[in-house]
Structure 1
Amino acid sequence: MTRRVVLAYPGGHGSSAALNLLAGQSEVVAVAADFGAGDVDLCALRRQATADGAAEVVVADLRGEFANDYCLLALQANALILDRHPLVEALARPLLASQLVATARDRNASAVAHGGGDALSGMIATLAPDLEILELGGWGEPELSTSRTLWARAVTSGYRCTEDAVANLGMPDEVVVTFDQGVPVAVDGETVSVAEAMQRLGHRAGAHGIGRFELADSYDAPGAAVLIAAHQELESVTLDRDLARFKRGVDRRWAELVHDGLWFSPLREPLDAFVRRAQERVSGEVRLVLHAGSATVAGLPGRRLRPVGRRCRRATGQTPLGSTQHPSTQAS
């Protein structure tokens, strides 16, 4: 009997080569996951996978689940690595692992193949210790769908979601984000879903160079950067001081846990519960001005506001949220 294998298939050269190889030995179910990056032609991807030898192609629309069950938690936990940049692959990876395992169970597959490295293998093994895991080398993380999401994306060949910080110097953009118990529910008074809030703010913030992060690798996350900035500021005026202080430690631990590939750790759900409970009073409008690589808070309920992210890192010229400031606006 021919072995059935589920393959994570983002559609790059590496995954195409892997599919060709596996198809000569097994019946391959290719899984293409859509995390909302908006830059992939899913119909073309399906045709490509079929041409590469897939017996079946599953296009998994994970946009809503990713936004509501993963990105929203990261937002409410103000999840920043090194207090600077949002999570990228680490936030989408557990959902991809869950989708691969669910597809394997549904199709009676005996193995899961992927090019996502040890972290993804560990998650699959946690969810389904009986499945064989085929870790395929040679096509690195940037090709995976987890590195291109509506929350953030790895940059491999030039920034695509953000303009240069000086591109629109003469056109500052004022935006009002409304939160209801920690959930972004409106942009400029128009009701939005969590995914829509990320998309709209990402487009507007990206036009002003907000959300670029240059670490060992480069990342774009304009929507995440602005939402986290707004949420942090709203928490600063709605949470009790002791609760806010304690939550900062919980937020940091939550981000570390997810970054380290421990989404399925028994610690995460209790942390989730605390973060969600703390959001009960986090409601109100935050007015921001997007300009020259920074998001400046211009209005909050009951308090005059200050610019977001004025603690610039002189070595990189970036704020803690990774939004490069124009020299004329950079704080000392």
Structure 2
Amino acid sequence: MTTVLAYAGGTAALARLARETDVVTVSVDLGAGDVDLTALRERALAAGAAEAIVVDARAEFANQHCLPALQANALLYDRYPLVGSLARPLIEKHVTAIARAHDAEVVWPREQGGKLSPDRTLWGRAVVVTDPDPWHGPGDVFAYTEDAAVNIDAPDEAVITFDRGVPVAVDGETVTVAEAVLRLGHRAGAHGVGRFDLAMDNREIYEAPGAWVLITAHQELENLTLDRDLARFKRSVDRRWTELVHDGLWSSPLREPLDAFVRHSQEHVCGDVRLVFHGGTAVVTGRRGEEPAGRGRHLHPVGRRYRPLTGQEHPDHPTHRAS
């Protein structure tokens, strides 16, 4: 019998399984950026795996998971970007496909924190909390961000260009979505941007500098380019999309219609946003973009102060009264 193990770098579960069955490990690379894939395969084989497969899903994750999250301004509780819940569906997709090809069952280990875990991707990282007391500082637990005081005397400025809601350039240099996340994450993270230390039911700590900067810039550009009614309705769609993905319902039949609406809303989200990274903050200092598509469409030619007719004010409406 063959077992497919979702493998993030730990060896305990692999060693136990290898004593009982042939194990095929599957590691899905989602762009954490600091993973030696050759060493990862060798470690899996040394621990008893019969075969060690590494799937390069970085572009797929960026374009099919991170980009929709960006365009939906996916901030959980309006506070921090999605991390693990955005990555797990893609990991499950690839691991399950390989299990089918091997006619094998899948084992999902309880071990967490490996460099290829869903909690560590190019979009962000969930930090293992060593001190649950929210009164205490988090300690030295960060990997994607520096302390805000480290580069306090050297602020950094970046200009992000969007085309239909897609980040296509940073400081005039063309980038892919993955490159935009990584470059901005590196630059903003050097100033402590994108750290989230949250005390809710449990203490949760995240760092997602690239995601935070892109969502901040994207929201600013939407404020400038979306029609008011469209923007108002889109905020409710954004919240529902975020809740759906956070709740593990990526495969819900509701997500695709929500995605379709969000994509359509991005037609005029084109322009540039300038930000300064300094002291743990990403401050928008400039924005320019297209005129909202619907601006002025309800205005009477005589001027903006004219009140447009509603249905009941129309002369042919049965309740209309002549003055």
The bucket for the TM-score relative to the shorter chain is 0.7 to 0.9
Question: What code does the residue aligned with 1:270 have?
Answer: P
Q: Distance in 1 between matches of 2:112 and 2:118?
A: 11
Equivalent residue for 1:279? 266
Are residue 230 (structure 1) and residue 217 (structure 2) matched? Answer: yes
Residues 175-324 of structure 1 mapped to structure 2, 5 A cutoff: 175-215=158-198, 216-301=203-288
Determine helix, strand or coil for the equivalent of 2:244.
helix
Determine helix, strand or coil for the equivalent of 2:162.
strand
Question: How far did residue 189 of structure 1 move?
Answer: 0.1
Q: Distance in 1 between matches of 2:58 and 2:112?
A: 23
Q: Distance in 1 between matches of 2:116 and 2:181?
A: 21
Equivalent residue for 1:114? 108
* Residue-pair matches, total: 275
Q: Distance in 2 between matches of 1:92 and 1:160?
A: 18
Q: Deviations over 1:191-235 (max 9, x none)?
A: 000000001000110011100011222111000000000000000
Question: How far did residue 143 of structure 1 move?
Answer: 6.9
Are residue 74 (structure 1) and residue 69 (structure 2) matched? Answer: yes
Q: Deviations over 1:48-78 (max 9, x none)?
A: 1001111111101110000000000000000
Q: TM-score normalized by structure 2?
A: 0.83
Are residue 104 (structure 1) and residue 99 (structure 2) matched? Answer: yes
Q: Which has the higher helix share?
A: 1
Could you tell me whether the CA contact under 8 Å between 1:161 and 1:203 is conserved in 2?
yes
Determine helix, strand or coil for the equivalent of 1:147.
coil
Q: Distance in 2 between matches of 1:173 and 1:27?
A: 51
Are residues 60 and 302 of structure 1, via their aligned partners in 2, closer, same or farther at CA, if it must alter by over 3 Å?
A: closer
Q: Distance in 2 between matches of 1:170 and 1:140?
A: 37
Within the candidate set 4, 7, 10, 1:6 is matched to 4
Q: TM-score normalized by structure 1?
A: 0.80
**Identity over aligned residues, as a percent?**
64
Determine helix, strand or coil for the equivalent of 2:59.
helix
Question: How far did residue 108 of structure 1 move?
Answer: 2.2
Q: Distance in 1 between matches of 2:36 and 2:249?
A: 31
Q: Distance in 1 between matches of 2:114 and 2:31?
A: 16
Could you tell me whether the CA contact under 8 Å between 2:28 and 2:55 is conserved in 1?
yes
Question: What code does the residue aligned with 1:183 have?
Answer: V
Are residues 272 and 160 of structure 1, via their aligned partners in 2, closer, same or farther at CA, if it must alter by over 3 Å?
A: same
Determine helix, strand or coil for the equivalent of 2:274.
strand
Equivalent residue for 2:121? 149
Q: Distance in 1 between matches of 2:96 and 2:7?
A: 14
Could you tell me whether the CA contact under 8 Å between 2:225 and 2:289 is conserved in 1?
no
Q: Please list every run of 5 or more consecutive structure 1 residues that lacks an aligned counterpart in the other structure.
A: 116-136, 304-332
Q: Distance in 1 between matches of 2:188 and 2:115?
A: 25
Question: How far did residue 141 of structure 1 move?
Answer: 6.1
Q: Distance in 2 between matches of 1:7 and 1:263?
A: 22
Determine helix, strand or coil for the equivalent of 1:285.
strand
Q: Deviations over 1:150-208 (max 9, x none)?
A: 00012236111111112112111110000000000000000000000001000110011
Question: How far did residue 140 of structure 1 move?
Answer: 3.8
Could you tell me whether the CA contact under 8 Å between 2:32 and 2:115 is conserved in 1?
no
Worse overlay, 221-230 or 284-293: 284-293
Could you tell me whether the CA contact under 8 Å between 1:79 and 1:255 is conserved in 2?
yes
Could you tell me whether the CA contact under 8 Å between 1:142 and 1:154 is conserved in 2?
no
Are residues 211 and 179 of structure 1, via their aligned partners in 2, closer, same or farther at CA, if it must alter by over 3 Å?
A: same
Determine helix, strand or coil for the equivalent of 2:160.
strand
Q: Please list every run of 5 or more consecutive structure 2 residues that lacks an aligned counterpart in the other structure.
A: 129-139, 291-323
